Amino acid sequence: MRILLVEDDRALSLAIAYRLRKEKITVDCAEDGLTGLSALEESPYDLVLLDRMMPGMDGVSLLARLRALGNPIPVLMLTAMDGVEDRVAGLDAGADDYLVKPFALDELMARIRALSRRPVRWLPRNTITAGDLLLDTESMLLKAHGRERELSRKEGRLLAFLMRNEGQVLPRGVILDRVWPDTVVEEGNLDIHIHYLRKTLEETGSACRIHTARGIGYKLAAASRERGG
């Protein structure tokens, strides 16, 4: 079993990691949400132990991003916030279980064993989701509301990058470097691809739209999220 521990309290992180390794469990540690998200994008894990309050990206935001990307990995949220509304917020964001600090390490291990026995919701490795969109990154088949559209390879890679970073403004240069790292693509061609993707999203009836950040770049967001800021 391989666990990612995302916890900014170094003393607690060391104590949990020590216990997990005593139980013959492989554990990697991250001290903030952004580092944890990067680790999850780069390596497969069986479970995440996730602190709720962290600098940068907090646990609820990280969890919401994971679920938006279609990642079904079990998540046990660790927090000192024991109010009902706090637990509800964590569970609504997609947490599978919730453990309030301070806790006994024996209870933590029991929760881990229980989560490891649950069946995991499965999505093919080549499938990503954002909002009401589902994209097969091998066939470049886009689905939304029962409608399907086949994308070109370039448009598919562009949409996949926008979907993986849903809600985040992506500078034009970053898009060009990350989507087509081995190909020279003029900025004007990027605008053309964005134009056709916008038409495709409208044709599927998706609530997601590609928004322009004037002078910066683009972001993908659901229409309701954009109205809310």
**CATH label of the domain that carries residue 9:** 3.40.50.2300
One domain, residues 48 and 73: yes
pLDDT at residue number 39: 87
- 8 Å CB contact between 29 and 49: no
One domain, residues 149 and 197: yes
Q: For the residues 41-69, what does the mean pLDDT come to? A: 84
Query: Residue 179 belongs to what domain range?
Result: 127-227
Q: Model confidence at 229, in pLDDT bands (50, 70, 90)?
A: very low
pLDDT at residue number 70: 66
Sheet containing strand 75-79, strands side by side: 26-30, 2-6, 47-51, 75-79, 97-100
Is 180 inside a domain boundary? yes
Q: Model confidence at 225, in pLDDT bands (50, 70, 90)?
A: very low
Is 109 inside a domain boundary? yes
One domain, residues 40 and 134: no
Is 122 inside a domain boundary? no
pLDDT at residue number 95: 85
One domain, residues 19 and 94: yes
Can you give the pTM of this predicted structure? 0.53
Question: Residue 202 sits in a domain of what CATH number?
Answer: 1.10.10.10
One domain, residues 90 and 143: no
Does residue 227 carry a pLDDT above 70? Answer: no
Q: Model confidence at 157, in pLDDT bands (50, 70, 90)?
A: very high
Domain termination site, one of 73, 96, 116: 116
